[in-house]
Structure 1
Amino acid sequence: MTETVKEYLRIDGTEDDKLLGFLIDSAKEYLTGAGVKGTDSKRYELAVIMLVTHWYENREAVGKVLGKVQLGLQSIILQLKAEGLKSE
């Protein structure tokens, strides 16, 4: 997933790999805390990328999700949670 995030953020090199790995793990924990189970869904991957991008570009606000990102993320989280309910 790190390579996908680096491609999305247009990052070359390996200087930020450790930070990106931390942000990816944090994003997955965030989604778990929001009631979303990890899946192979592209929407899950997009949600992780959205969070990582937001936190990477707004480092002073790590741990918080602000503005437009929050609205898009909420929509994805609700869809993924609804899918989880169907499969139970």
Structure 2
Amino acid sequence: MLTLQEVKSFMRIEHGEEDTFLSSLLLVTENYIKNATHSNADNNTPEFKFAQCFLCLHWYENRDLSGKAVNMPHHLNALFLQITATSGDAL
């Protein structure tokens, strides 16, 4: 499971002002990846952790309420496909 310190290091956040928000993102992104891949993927694999870091970063940087649509980055979709293919319970 990805830790708060790991995601903060990946995102280069040194202060603690966002810790509550980032902790929420960690929980939501884990569930999102499992739902997006239709799998009970192991959240300790490098692919899962990498996808979770990038998804946290994507949602952190795109959290404004302007209503603009932001597409999911291609590299995240590619990681989701890898997680699906290697999870053992893919569709």
TM-score band, normalised by shorter chain: 0.7 to 0.9
Distance in 2, Cα, partners of 1:36 & 1:48: 15
**Counterpart contact for 2:29–2:52, Cα < 8 Å:** yes
Give the root-mean-square deviation of aligned CA atoms: 2.2
Distance in 2, Cα, partners of 1:43 & 1:65: 23
Provide the residue aligned with 1:50 in structure 2.
Answer: 54
Give the deviation of 1:65 after TM superposition: 5.9
Distance in 1, Cα, partners of 2:48 & 2:75: 12
Provide the residue aligned with 2:71 in structure 1.
Answer: 66
Distance in 1, Cα, partners of 2:47 & 2:87: 13
Using the TM superposition, name which of 20-29 and 36-45 deviates more: 36-45
Provide the residue aligned with 1:25 in structure 2.
Answer: 27
Bigger proportion of residues as helix: 1
- The one-letter amino acid of 1:36's match is S
Deviation per CA, 1:42-83: give whole Å up to 9, x if none: 01001100110011111127xx7625x2x1111111111111
TM-score normalized by the length of structure 1: 0.80
**Counterpart contact for 1:27–1:48, Cα < 8 Å:** yes
Query: Identity of aligned pairs, percent?
Result: 28
- The one-letter amino acid of 2:26's match is I
Higher relative contact order, chain-length normalized (CA < 8 Å, sep 6+): 2
Unaligned runs of 5+ in 1: none
Deviating 4+ runs (over 2 angstroms): none
**Counterpart contact for 2:4–2:19, Cα < 8 Å:** yes
Residues paired across the two proteins, number: 83
